[in-house]
Amino acid sequence: MIRKDPNLGDPVDQDPCSGTTKVPNLEKRDGVYVIATSERALNDRLLTEGWYDSSGKYLLNSAPGFQHCGTRYPIWRQKKNGDTSTMCIQIHNNNCYLPFYIETKMCGTKEIFYLKKTIFSSAYCFGTPNIPPTFNVKPNVTTRLRNNKYTSKLEFRCEFSKHADDVFYTTNWVVNGELVLSEEPLKWSGGGVIETHALTEAKLISVNITQVGFELRCSVTASVGNDTAASVPVLSDSKFIGIKISEESLTLSEGGFADISLLLTVPFGCGTEGLGCELLVESVHLETTADCNQSRLASSSCGTVFSDTKWNKAATIRVFGQVSQTLGSASTMLKVKMVTPDVLPGNEFWARYTVGVITVQLKKEHRPDCTEVVSCSH
């Protein structure tokens, strides 16, 4: 039993799923059906307002063309937001003339529609159930810098090849295994969808990712409309965004040393001024043993730098096992942390970044004493 809300005029139904009417003339309402010259056009101006069952067909989600759907002015669904759908009337020079809203409801897997009376010679369009296109393309994450005068911002693209049909594409961004952003569905537009869906530092900040040091993946789904079923996503290979470190643990003898290799996985820069800049990685010595009476966190002046013009060339930090004359245990476990500076104007995404923590086991060769690890640039 259907009644009207006296204040809002919206449909109020206790059980619309059990009280629907079949949509009349469904065979003519398909988007490919074009009325003949002398054929009488469908007109929903006289339709009885209420809940309708379309026998498994769905509201057409794109403009079918003037005089399609068995009517002069087809009515199609532009957008669905929950139980509310935005409807458009297509006329000869406007695909969305006088948009209006209708209510819909899911009854299990079937959608029903509260259809209103329409104006002039227009009628609702229905099509066959939506089947998402097959789109099993594996995309690839690429990186570039967006430079202005003084700053360089990272930008990531989800590169993929075009579907054979004119479909909508949705790009999904995954950080550390979690979906963080899904872009609005867009058509190919000469490949412009890839540019529009690019992941910027600003977009990452909007989802609380404020510095490098994360795994990034993307996927792309295809759909026939911007609010229809989409294809199954295929994830790209994972790309680490930050600095890779060659060693996470070392064993050194007194007086010995080891080289730690650092490699940038993405570029950094300093704007378009062409002055050149460097990215510093400092070593911080963490004393953690009980053998030393004054355990502390002390910054070292040692470190290494990356040049913006040779950002993809590995840099090296050499770690020494220094001998001390103080008595202590025969083996000491210490840590060296690699970090970037707290302030990096124009490259804020690289500031305060912990590249890694190296665990060092220092073995004494001759006498037990208290030792420490000292890091120096190569």
Q: Looking at residue 224, which CATH number applies to its domain?
A: 2.60.40
Could you say which of 241, 270, 288 is where a domain stops?
Answer: 241
CA dihedral angle for residue 63, residue 67, residue 71, residue 76, rounded to 10 degrees: 0
Residues 220 and 184 occupy one common structural domain: yes
Look at residue 133 and tell me if it is in a domain: no
Query: Cβ(133)–Cβ(144) under 8 Å?
Result: no
Q: Looking at residue 317, which CATH number applies to its domain?
A: 2.60.40.10
CA–CA dist 156, 141 (Å, integer):
7
Residues 96 and 50 occupy one common structural domain: yes
- Non-local CB neighbours of 178 within 8 Å, separated by 6+ positions: none
Instruction: Read off the pLDDT of each residue in 1-7 and give the average, rounded to a whole number.
Output: 38
Per the structure, the count of domains in the chain is 3
Q: What is the 3-state secondary structure (H, E, C) of 129-163?
A: CCCCCCCCCCCEEEEEEEECCCCEEEEEEEECCCC
Look at residue 372 and tell me if it is in a domain: yes
- Non-local CB neighbours of 362 within 8 Å, separated by 6+ positions: 252, 253, 254, 321, 331, 332, 333, 334, 371, 373
CA–CA dist 178, 181 (Å, integer):
9
Residues 6 and 116 occupy one common structural domain: yes
CB atoms within 10 A of CB 346: 19
User: Where in the sequence is the domain holding 76, given as residue range(s)?
Assistant: 2-127
Look at residue 9 and tell me if it is in a domain: yes
Could you say which of 187, 211, 241 is where a domain stops?
Answer: 241
Instruction: Read off the pLDDT of each residue in 213-239 and give the average, rounded to a whole number.
Output: 91
**Among residues of the chain, what percentage have pLDDT more than 70?**
84
Give the phi and the psi of residue 59 in degrees, each rounded to 5: -65, 130
pLDDT at 301 over 50: no
Report the chain's mean pLDDT, rounded to a whole number.
84
Residues 205 and 281 occupy one common structural domain: no
pTM for the model stands at 0.64
Instruction: Render pLDDT for 175-208 as a digit per residue (tens, 0 to 9).
Output: 999 999 999 999 999 999 999 999 999 999 999 9
CB atoms within 10 A of CB 242: 21
Going by C-alpha positions, the residue among 67, 22, 61 that lies closest to residue 40 is 67
Look at residue 135 and tell me if it is in a domain: no
Look at residue 26 and tell me if it is in a domain: yes
State which amino acid sits at residue 92.
H
Residues 121 and 152 occupy one common structural domain: no
